[in-house]
Structure 1
Amino acid sequence: MTRYALALEYDGRAFSGWQVQPDRVTVQSVLERALAQMAGQPVRVHAAGRTDAGVHASRQIVHFDTDAKRTLTAWVRGVNSFLPEGVGVLWAREVPDHFHSRFVATARHYRYLLLNHPVRPALWAGRVGWSHHPLDLDALRAAVPHLLGQHDFSSFRAAECQAKTPVKTLSRLDVHAEGTLLYFDFSADAFLHHMVRNLMGALLHIAKGNRPPEWMAELVAARDRTIAPPTFMPDGLYLAGVSYPSEYGLATEPEPRHGLI
């Protein structure tokens, strides 16, 4: 039995999230079906993170076990030939038996793309978030330090979140503007369900002038989801990379910004 790691990219609009669900098309279900066709036997995959419906990935990492003997090229090009449009394998690597895409990960990286423009996007619809309000980026950036470090992020946690603890360490939150397109880069040891989208909702609430930057510290301290702004749209959210110890030789951090991702 050999264990392989794969990197995937996908457009979340076509799927009901990552995880297999009855009578729903999900990324996991179509990938397992494609791998089974290539392997000639059932294959179960495990992902670094479960993305919701409408959320994309430019670097999702998964692993699976099989005793089928195939080349690494077959696990990429061959599997892609069985996958629908909107999802594809980027690379395949053989990894040790103790590798686990979720449990040995040291950090996850998400990127949120936001179009700040008076009219809604058409060509980029579903690929970027959108705000037509003028945004004060200086105020938004002033709120960021209140989020960095280890905190109880209960104010940004979905009610259905199954994480054992709401305490996470947010090590990076960078905001970069290229014209009307804004890039928000988040890195943490792990994320709660809807955490990035809930953080985006609060950051934009401040950027619109509804609250001062210091209000973010109050939200964190309150540990109360009911007083925070609504969850922001999934459209511009991408799982952009997953970090692992160097022993595995997997370069999976986000690539430099280019185009939409």
Structure 2
Amino acid sequence: MPRFALKIEYHGAGFAGWQRQKDHPSVQGAIETALAKLQPGDHTIAAAGRTDAGVHGLAQVAHCDLVKDWAPFRLSEALNYHLKDQRVAIVDCAPVTDEFHARFSATERRYLFRLISRRAPLTHERGLAWHIKHPLDADAMQAGADHLLGRHDFTTFRSSICQADSPVKTLDELRVEEIEIPNGVEYRFHVRARSFLHNQVRSFVGTLERVGAGAWAPGDVRRALDARNRAACGPVCPPEGLYLAGVTYPDDPFSQT
């Protein structure tokens, strides 16, 4: 059966997350329903990562197996036709070998978190960024973030319902970017690692926001990390500012498209 890699963009609002659920709309379910319009029957697609309710995708990657050997462009166009009423789009499609697996072949995942500081409520960016009213110190947040780089036991920054076998992960990048915008400031957190624990990025950002606000010192982040205790974590920030921004593979399936 021909296998295809799909690069997927989606707005997380209105979905109970990526993973298919029986009684709630999901991104996976929307795409599998669209696939069933092209090839009747049940479909199960595998993705590079499962995003939570309200989390967005800029470049999620999934793979699917079909009977027909579609031209990739025609497949993406057909899927987008059936997804037109959803906030989901196939932005690229490529044929891959049977050995390619969207999750297990990935060597790196990249996340972006957007936080906007301004007094007025968000309008155009509502639902697309975490809104706070107070200013933040980007340098202090970066100093706190630096304590998290490298290989650590991230129990403190792991959800109590996380199903990962081990809390030990290697964080390759956690970079804080400060951008002046009309009437406020946007802070972007660029996070990169091979894999992540459940709620790890949101736990990072919620903790670093406390550093930026002056409630924590940068060194408190290290003490929280060393505690290996979920109770030592700062607040977990809301999901609407989080985006799965990209996935890396040894051979990029989309490089020739």
Given the two structures, how large is their TM-score scaled by the length of structure 1? 0.93
Quick check: 1:157 aligned with 2:158? yes
**Moved runs in structure 1, 4+ residues, more than 3 A?**
248-251
**Distance between the aligned counterparts of 2:124 and 2:253, measured in 1?**
37
- 1:250, CA displacement in angstroms? 3.7
Quick check: 1:40 aligned with 2:45? no
For each residue in 1:186-236, what CA deviation from the matched residue of structure 2 results, as whole angstroms up to 9, or x when unmatched? 001101111100001110011110111011111111111112112101111
Q: Which residue of 2 aligns with 1:186?
A: 191
**Distance between the aligned counterparts of 1:170 and 1:85, measured in 2?**
33
Quick check: 1:101 aligned with 2:105? no
Aligned-pair Cα RMSD in Å: 1.1
Q: Give the number of equivalent residue pairs.
A: 250
Asked if the contact 1:40–1:68 (Cα under 8 Å) also holds between the matched residues in 2, the reply is no
Counterpart secondary structure, 1:115: strand
**Distance between the aligned counterparts of 1:249 and 1:86, measured in 2?**
24
Counterpart secondary structure, 2:239: coil
Counterpart secondary structure, 2:223: helix
Counterpart secondary structure, 1:141: helix
Asked if the contact 2:30–2:86 (Cα under 8 Å) also holds between the matched residues in 1, the reply is no
Q: How does 1:6-25 map to 2 (within 5 A)?
A: 6-25=6-25
Asked if the contact 1:111–1:240 (Cα under 8 Å) also holds between the matched residues in 2, the reply is yes
**Distance between the aligned counterparts of 1:111 and 1:244, measured in 2?**
18
Quick check: 1:203 aligned with 2:204? no
The worse-fitting range, judged by mean Cα deviation, of 168-177 and 39-48 is 39-48
Structure 1 unaligned regions, length at least 5: 252-261
Q: Which amino acid aligns with 2:232?
A: I
**Distance between the aligned counterparts of 1:250 and 1:216, measured in 2?**
38
For each residue in 1:148-197, what CA deviation from the matched residue of structure 2 results, as whole angstroms up to 9, or x when unmatched? 11111110111111111111111011111211112110001101111100
- 1:41, CA displacement in angstroms? 3.6
Asked if the contact 2:138–2:177 (Cα under 8 Å) also holds between the matched residues in 1, the reply is no
Structure 2 unaligned regions, length at least 5: none
**Distance between the aligned counterparts of 2:72 and 2:216, measured in 1?**
52
